[in-house]
Amino acid sequence: GRPAHLDILGQRYPTDNITNITPSILAKVPLRLHTRPKHPIHTLRTIIESHYPDFAHHSSLSPVVSLYKNFDELSFPSDHPGRAVTESYYVNKDMMLRTHTSAHEVEVFRCGEDKWLLTADVYRRDEIDGSHYPVFHQMEGARIFSADAAGMAEAAEDNARLRAHLAQAHVVIEDVPHVTPTNPSQPTHDPAHSALVAENLKLSLNSLLLALFGPATGAAAPLRVRWIEAYFPFTSPSFEVEVFFRGKWLEILGSGVVRQATLDTANVPNKMGWAFGLGLERIAMILYSIPDIRLFWSTDERFLSQFKENEITTFQPYSKYPSCFKDVSFWTSQCVAPHENDFCDLVRDVAGDLVEDVQKADFFVHPKTNRTSLCFRINYRSMDRSLSNEEVNEMQSQVVSRLQQQFGVEIR
104 binds ligand PHE (CB under 6 A): no
CA 35-293-244 angle, to 5 degrees, is: 100
CB of 76 to ligand PHE, least distance (A): 11
Q: Which of 96, 155, 223, 275 binds ligand PHE (CB under 6 A)?
A: 275
Q: Which of 255, 262, 341, 396 binds ligand PHE (CB under 6 A)?
A: 255
C-alpha atoms less than 13 angstroms from C-alpha of 135 in its C-beta half-sphere: 25
CB of 60 to ligand PHE, least distance (A): 19
Q: Which of 254, 271, 273, 294 binds ligand PHE (CB under 6 A)?
A: 254
Q: Which of 40, 134, 273, 277 binds ligand PHE (CB under 6 A)?
A: 277
Question: Can you tell me the distance from the alpha carbon of 212 to that of 329, in angstroms, rounded to the nearest whole number?
Answer: 45
Q: Which of 276, 307, 376, 380 binds ligand PHE (CB under 6 A)?
A: 276
Least Cα distance to 209 among 95, 88, 48 occurs for: 48
237 binds ligand PHE (CB under 6 A): no
235 binds ligand PHE (CB under 6 A): yes
My answer on whether omega of the bond before 63 falls inside 30° of 0, hence cis, is no
232 binds ligand PHE (CB under 6 A): yes
Strands (E) in 193-263, as ranges, are 223-232, 235-245, 248-258
Stretch that binds ligand PHE, among 158-166, 249-257, 292-300, 340-348 (CB under 6 A): 249-257
Stretch that binds ligand PHE, among 49-57, 275-283, 313-321, 371-379 (CB under 6 A): 275-283
Q: Of the two residues 151 and 277, which places its CB atom closer to ligand PHE in the complex?
A: 277
Whether residue 73 contacts residue 262, with contact meaning beta carbons closer than 8 Å, is answered with yes
- Amino acid making up residue 204: S
Q: Of the two residues 63 and 254, which places its CB atom closer to ligand PHE in the complex?
A: 254
Stretch that binds ligand PHE, among 21-29, 82-90, 271-279, 342-350 (CB under 6 A): 271-279
Phi, psi (degrees; rounded to nearest 5) at 230: -140, 180
Contacts of 171 (CB under 8 A, 6+ apart): 206, 209, 210, 214, 222, 223, 224, 225
Question: Can you tell me the distance from the alpha carbon of 263 to that of 282, in angstroms, rounded to the nearest whole number?
Answer: 29
Stretch that binds ligand PHE, among 43-51, 53-61, 164-172, 272-280 (CB under 6 A): 272-280
Question: Can you tell me the distance from the alpha carbon of 223 to that of 287, in angstroms, rounded to the nearest whole number?
Answer: 14
Q: Of the two residues 88 and 255, which places its CB atom closer to ligand PHE in the complex?
A: 255
CB of 227 to ligand PHE, least distance (A): 13
Of all residues in this chain, which one has the CB nearest to ligand PHE in the complex? 277
CB of 231 to ligand PHE, least distance (A): 10
Residues of this chain, 84-103, that bind ligand PHE according to CB under 6 A: 100, 102
Instruction: Tell me how many residues contact ligand PHE (CB under 6 A).
Output: 10
CA 59-3-121 angle, to 5 degrees, is: 15
Question: Can you tell me the distance from the alpha carbon of 310 to that of 245, in angstroms, rounded to the nearest whole number?
Answer: 22
Phi, psi (degrees; rounded to nearest 5) at 204: -60, -40
Phi, psi (degrees; rounded to nearest 5) at 315: -70, 135
Q: Which of 40, 256, 273, 338 binds ligand PHE (CB under 6 A)?
A: 256
185 binds ligand PHE (CB under 6 A): no
Q: Of the two residues 87 and 384, which places its CB atom closer to ligand PHE in the complex?
A: 87
Contacts of 147 (CB under 8 A, 6+ apart): 193, 270, 271, 272
Give the footprint of ligand PHE on this chain (CB under 6 A).
100, 102, 232, 235, 254-256, 275-277
